[in-house]
């Protein structure tokens, strides 16, 4: 197959969506498919056109930024040219150009698979409400034009405002998650270097944005310390440049400064594995989340998880049993759940082999390959 993948940010930009897209693209290329990625040139240091791990990456220079997206007038022209050269298009949404790409795919009689990574949920504010409603309209149009749509789980699909409108077109495919075994000696040494010996470490990771709910954890920390005085939060990640949520959390951050360590963006899978292993517990207190890959990564490193009991985010703990679910948007309930988890860590400790079986990356790639082939066959039959 000649597969064209389209998304806003590709490696070395690193989010769960990007990691997912990279793994699909590189795995398909390793299986002998011809894979091209069309994305934005979000940094001037990046090449316009290069081969990365068997995948051709074409980057279009933006002229500016709008909220979470990039303004790239040349995108439709590049997309049209590349769509005509490929057998199937896979887009990763949210994507501002999703509807345009879908219309171009339809015009060139090419199948399009829309891999959806979560509905747009913005913080309060008139501008953000406009962005959220506009994004919904764009993605709904793209979904209706798509040959097939994929989600991470049936749970999220049932509760998604967007996906619930696309009916039988949606198939659930677990994200392809890979993680090296942690270096336990290096992890223990890192903890000592940070001056955190004797602390009970609660890990969080990802972009510091409203939907991740890190402020819920900060509000819960005084209550957690009432029962676990040595509790300490370790954060791997950095603030998002497209919203001011980190700034709005500054009073909470300042209050918890002595109980909070910022590691910055942790680069490299091995270093990230050592981070997870250093933590006694990994926490995902999200307001909205399809299924954060970090939960599976943490479990693959032997660390149990506390996740918010919301659609999508609750699937990993629910399927594995290696953690606890906390009431959503409830710092007091989160504190109680974390306290209970820290009191019962041995019974919650993940069985890594079980996690690998449930979240087998090879099975995920098999399913994506099957969906892409079926999409090609469906469009060919339509026009035969």
What does the pLDDT read at residue 67? Answer: 58
pLDDT in tens, 78-105: 999 999 999 999 999 999 999 999 999 9
Share of the chain above pLDDT 90, in %: 83
What confidence category does residue 65 fall into, taking pLDDT thresholds of 50, 70 and 90?
low
Give phi and psi for 359, each to the nearest 5: -120, 65
The mean pLDDT of 104-121, rounded to a whole number, is 95
| Calculated CA dihedral for residues 364, 366, 370, 376, nearest 10 degrees | 90
Q: Rg of the chain's alpha carbons, rounded to an integer?
A: 21
**Cα 269 to Cα 283: distance, rounded to the nearest angstrom:** 19
Share of the chain above pLDDT 70, in %: 98
The mean pLDDT of 350-379, rounded to a whole number, is 97
Do 2-177+360-382 and 184-358 fold alike per CATH?
yes
The mean pLDDT of 188-193, rounded to a whole number, is 98
**Cα 119 to Cα 156: distance, rounded to the nearest angstrom:** 10
What confidence category does residue 68 fall into, taking pLDDT thresholds of 50, 70 and 90?
low
The mean-pLDDT minimum among 32-41, 106-115, 244-253, 351-360 falls in 244-253
Spatial CA neighbour of 246 closest among 235, 238, 234, 236:
238
What pTM did the predictor assign? 0.92
The mean pLDDT of 24-39, rounded to a whole number, is 98
What number does CATH give the domain 184-358? 3.40.50.2000
Identify whether the C-beta of residue 324 lies closer than 8 Å to the C-beta of residue 331: no
pLDDT in tens, 121-146: 777 778 778 878 888 999 999 999 99
Give phi and psi for 35, each to the nearest 5: -115, 130
SS (H, E, C) 178-202: CCCCCCHHHHHHHHHHCCCCCCEEE
The mean-pLDDT minimum among 2-11, 130-139, 181-190, 266-275 falls in 130-139
With vertex at residue 216, the alpha carbon angle to CA 214 and CA 218, rounded to the nearest 5 degrees, is 75
pLDDT in tens, 199-234: 999 999 998 988 999 999 999 999 999 999 999 999
What does the pLDDT read at residue 329? Answer: 96
Domain boundaries, the chain: 2-177+360-382, 184-358
Residue 369 has pLDDT above 70, yes or no: yes
What does the pLDDT read at residue 242? Answer: 65
With vertex at residue 339, the alpha carbon angle to CA 337 and CA 345, rounded to the nearest 5 degrees, is 95
What does the pLDDT read at residue 239? Answer: 84
The mean pLDDT of 356-374, rounded to a whole number, is 97
Residue 82, both tokens: 């590349």
* CATH 1.10.10.10 holds for 2-177+360-382: no
Average pLDDT taken over every residue of the chain: 94
What does the pLDDT read at residue 66? Answer: 64
**Cα 315 to Cα 347: distance, rounded to the nearest angstrom:** 19
What confidence category does residue 64 fall into, taking pLDDT thresholds of 50, 70 and 90?
low
Residue 324 has pLDDT above 80, yes or no: yes
**Cα 302 to Cα 173: distance, rounded to the nearest angstrom:** 24
What does the pLDDT read at residue 230? Answer: 97
**Cα 50 to Cα 110: distance, rounded to the nearest angstrom:** 24
Residue 241 has pLDDT above 70, yes or no: no
Identify whether the C-beta of residue 297 lies closer than 8 Å to the C-beta of residue 232: no
Spatial CA neighbour of 95 closest among 120, 74, 112:
120
What confidence category does residue 62 fall into, taking pLDDT thresholds of 50, 70 and 90?
confident
What does the pLDDT read at residue 308? Answer: 98
What confidence category does residue 43 fall into, taking pLDDT thresholds of 50, 70 and 90?
confident
What does the pLDDT read at residue 69? Answer: 64
Size of the chain, expressed as the number of residues it contains: 384
Residue 200, both tokens: 């009970």
């Amino acid at each position: 197959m000649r597969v064209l993948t389209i998304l806003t940010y590709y490696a070395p930009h690193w989010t769960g969506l990007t990691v997912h897209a990279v793994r699909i693209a590189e795995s398909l290329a390793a299986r002998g498919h011809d894979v091209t990625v069309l994305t934005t040139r979000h940094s001037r240091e990046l090449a316009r056109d290069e081969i990365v791990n068997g995948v051709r990456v074409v980057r279009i220079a933006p002229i500016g930024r709008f909220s979470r997206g990039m303004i790239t007038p040349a995108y439709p022209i590049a997309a049209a040219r590349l769509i005509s050269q490929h057998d199937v298009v896979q887009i990763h949404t949210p994507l501002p150009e999703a509807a345009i790409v879908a219309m171009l795919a339809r015009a060139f009689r090419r199948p399009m698979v829309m891999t959806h990574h979560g509905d747009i949920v913005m913080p309060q504010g008139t501008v953000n409400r406009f962005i959220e409603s506009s994004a919904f309209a764009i993605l709904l149009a793209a979904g209706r034009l798509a040959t097939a749509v994929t989600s991470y789980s049936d749970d999220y699909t049932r509760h998604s405002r967007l996906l619930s409108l696309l009916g039988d077109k949606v198939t659930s495919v677990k994200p392809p998650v890979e993680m090296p075994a942690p270096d336990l000696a290096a992890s223990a040494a890192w903890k000592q270097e940070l001056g955190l010996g004797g602390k009970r470490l609660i890990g969080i990771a990802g972009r510091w944005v409203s939907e991740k709910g890190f402020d819920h954890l900060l509000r819960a920390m005084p209550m957690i310390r009432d029962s676990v005085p040595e509790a300490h939060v370790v954060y791997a990640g950095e603030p998002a440049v497209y919203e001011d949520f980190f700034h709005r959390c500054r009073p909470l951050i300042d209050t918890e400064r002595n109980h909070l360590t910022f590691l910055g963006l942790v680069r490299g899978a091995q270093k990230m594995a050592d981070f997870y292993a250093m933590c006694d517990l990994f926490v995902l207190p999200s307001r909205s989340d399809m299924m954060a890959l970090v939960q599976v990564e943490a479990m693959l490193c032997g660390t149990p998880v506390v996740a918010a009991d919301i659609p999508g985010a609750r699937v990993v703990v629910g399927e594995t049993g290696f953690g606890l679910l906390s009431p959503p948007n409830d710092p007091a309930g989160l504190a109680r759940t974390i306290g209970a988890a820290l009191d019962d860590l041995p019974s919650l400790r993940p069985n890594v082999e079980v996690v690998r079986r449930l979240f087998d990356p090879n099975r995920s790639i098999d399913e994506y390959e099957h969906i892409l082939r079926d999409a090609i066959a469906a469009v060919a039959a339509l026009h035969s």
